[in-house]
Structure 1
Amino acid sequence: MSDTLFFETFAKGKKEAKALKRSKDCVIYTRVSSQQQADNLSLATQLKACTLYAEKMEYNIAATFGGTYESAETDERKQFTAMISFVKKFKGKVSYILVYSLERFSRNDNSIWLTNELRRLGIEIISVTQPIDTSNASGQMQQKMLFLFGEFDNQLRKQKCMAGVKEMLLKGDWPTKPPVGFDIIRVNGKRKIVVNSKGRLIQQAFHWKANENLTAECIRERLAQKGFKIGRQQMSRVLRNPFYCGLMVHTMLEGKVVEGNHEQLIPRDVFLRVNGLIKDNSHGYSINEENAAIPLKRFVSCGHCGQPLRGYIVKKKNIHYYKCNTKACNNNKSAKELNSFFEKILNAFKVDKAKDIIELIKRQTIAVFNQLSAGKQDDYQHLQREHTEIVKKINRLEERYIEEEIGGELYNKYRDRYNEEKVEIEKKLTKLSRQVSNLDESVGFVVKFALELPLKWASADYNTKQRIQFLLFPKGLSYNKKTDECRTTRINFLFLYLSYFQQIITNKKRGIPELGLDYSSFEHWVPRAGIEPALP
């Protein structure tokens, strides 16, 4: 035994790493920077050159990525990211990334770092038109220099391009694709930005927001009914973009606002009202957006034309009113009277005559809810089983590919198909999972809340009153001045059932007369599960 063996624990420095074994498997990545390049033979040329190189070197092509146009300024590219994830996942199996030239791989300062990270995993980037031996320091330096030249070329192009973009903006011409609702057309050879069919719907959305003060979610629902689906974030961006009122803002303008040459969608005062910068206050009365004296505004709609009632105060009389803004509708009502009428409606949901059997009410309500949602629970469990199965299929597919039971073509074909099925199942699971997660506590809260419902509403602030109103009547109420009646199309199930059950056990068959519901019509609103209390 060597005398130095005992001293190895005091040695410094890392032991020399074992050389990574390289396989013959590779992936091909092709890319162009624009749609115009994608339309010509550039992609086909890149793919052909990489394929011939792989055949020459006797490499096995595990997968092909790219085949589209993606900017190389950043690494946030779908195909590029997918390719990097793939080679990292199958490190030790895939040893080479073939590109037509290094600039096709990346043209930013992150490329050198990423190349080093891949090299540590035993993955080498090979440019088939720039043969460099990266197995030594000299070759690696040459590769880094080419990456740096690519980034430098990018910066020069960007500088020239940005100067042109800024000049266009200052002249009032939008240089890129316009926001949703606009199209680019050519008139006598000149480029013009005009409003399209979606733009006309967005125009309505602005007026809904300005005149009715609808929430973005309500606006999205209305647009969806008209066939235009738009996401929450995009809806918010649209309502805050001055492009729609004929003005342009851009980071290249350095804080300036420029009048655009594009077609104007809405007046500027409408845009300002939508964003809360000016108030419509030209009719001799003032508007307070959060006034506890008029909590029913926009919650109660006109029973004649369907438009939401607005609230205002007549300064001379110091009296609040609700009013429909539709011309010649004349559906106005004293706020004091309509508020009092709403309190009477709330009394129908107040649990006061059956306090001694509240526990039975809670148990019966839970029993009915569980019975009604039983089918959805079965569907949810079925979807969970389907999700488990599709995940197993995806894992098995990857195992078969790693073990070389199937080739890259079959792997890519079934991987895409299985992933699409998985995404669709997950969407359905998300939809069905939107149920009450803690039913006992929820029902208990509703019953406790219902004990003093009218008092809680009367003493609450504006926002709390609005929440209570929409909690009971998700679709709001309508008021008809001619008949002096309120109506609704939907009542919260739990509160409705409490009122229904309480009337049964107290033998008061009166329904809710304030909403035009007698006992016989009232019971049809509540799904029946038997009126006997659930036994322990």
Structure 2
Amino acid sequence: MNELSVFKAFGKGEKTSVSKGHLAVVYTRVSSASQTENTSLETQRKACLQYAERHGLTILKNFGQTNESATTDERMEFKIMIDFVKKCKDRVSFILVYSLERFSRNENAIWLSTQLRKLGVEVVSVTQPIDTSSPSGVMQQRILMIFNQFDNELRKAKCTAGMKEMLLQGNWPTKPPLGYDSITANGKRTIVPNERGRILRKAFEWKAEENLTCEAIRVRLARNGITLCHQRVADILRNPFYCGLISHRMLDGEIIPGNHEGLISKELFLKVNGILEQNTHGYTIKEENEAIPLKRFLRCDNCNQFLRGYIVKKKSIHYYKCSTLGCKNNRSANVLNQRFAEILEWFALDFPSDVLQLIKQQAVATFNQYSKGYIDERAVLQEKHAELNKKIARLEERLMDEEIPSELYYKYMAKYNEEKEVLESELNKATLEMSNLDDCVQNAIDFAINLPKKWLSADYNIKQRLQHLLFPDGISYNRKTDQCRTSRINFVFLYLAYLKQVMTKTKIGISTLQLEYSNFACLVAGSRIELPTLGL
């Protein structure tokens, strides 16, 4: 008998299940409903099954097989899969995906993969093999996830540019407002008034001729079959779309003549809004105020409510204050704004030029490796495209040889052409073009070098975006202790701050956020670059 066996009762840590180590689940998805009709989902599933067979893994369950956007983790199938893995954490060891972008394309991917790793579950991309058993492998996977989000932002920027161009041409790019229908004929989309629109026209007339309140108009509309809330009525009366004009946030305050038919005349619209202006309550709310950029970002440490901003007119001094009745958590805006600028100093990329060059080279190299998944996917799609062309050629031969009637030919040719169009669309998406990658990386580095100055000199909207980029959950402030803290930091900036502390041999953490060095190191443990290799 082993003399240590009697001491097993004093052992620490959980025993590993015998079956754990070879069980996995598969998650597949596409971005849109139209893609579910092609072979992309099946391609993903087969690639995962082949990977499992090569590595001796047993598939416990398949998830996904539907269209879900990866820009958010609030996906039905994705949440079901995560819940299943957490419940079966003693059995499941791997989540197999075709590529990391199939798993997630937002900044929460790094946090979620870390939480799963703590449960003993690894996210494995079958087309981007990475050994996550080592710190460098974990770091590489996290960088790929960061570039997934980066690619998503690029696509969003392209889509935004296209929508803005449509607006400038007088065309409404999305679903039209209440009272209009979108009709597509011969490939051309037009927006026309419907029966509800003709009823809404009366709402403007009631306001102009009888000066009815929005509540009275809401009641009349309900009698005519249109049920709205009080605020919605006011929004409709203030929308210039109904007089043939287009107003949109992308137009930067401009008004564009629309190509749609207006329900009312411009004169009637102006008359209605003149009446609405006379009925205001004597105050206005200024949403964008350069003096208080941290409002709806700073939280009260006591009640977790956002701090609002206000001004003491006699002193012309702005303050942040908690909205909870009786809570005395308030502070000068100048003080907290300066405190936030000091926090940004910890994340500024003020490294020597040779280190910055190495960071840039690594970023470019990682992005190129990330694109390998697109290359593999494109090869599979090209093969299917070639097979489909052979089928089309064979169908034409059979028609010429009178082996099939023309009815069958046109039936199957239409089917093949539809499949071909979908495949060609997938081929275009699988091609990731980034000709100006060096410039983009350099611009990002240049921006990070002067991070605090950039924030101080930016306008209100840029400041808000930068704040939420670094601290997705915001920052809490306690007036009694005059301290700030946060529960979550963007991984990229967190790692830069950690690397900066290591290089400068600083023994404290981010003191302004009450973050000790030891806790700070744990946040990025397993993903740091070995410093001795930086000079090689």
- Shorter-chain TM-score tier: 0.3 to 0.5
Higher relative contact order (Cα pairs below 8 Å, separated by 6+ residues): 2
TM-score by length of 1: 0.44
Question: Could you state the TM-score of these two structures normalised by the residue count of structure 2?
Answer: 0.44
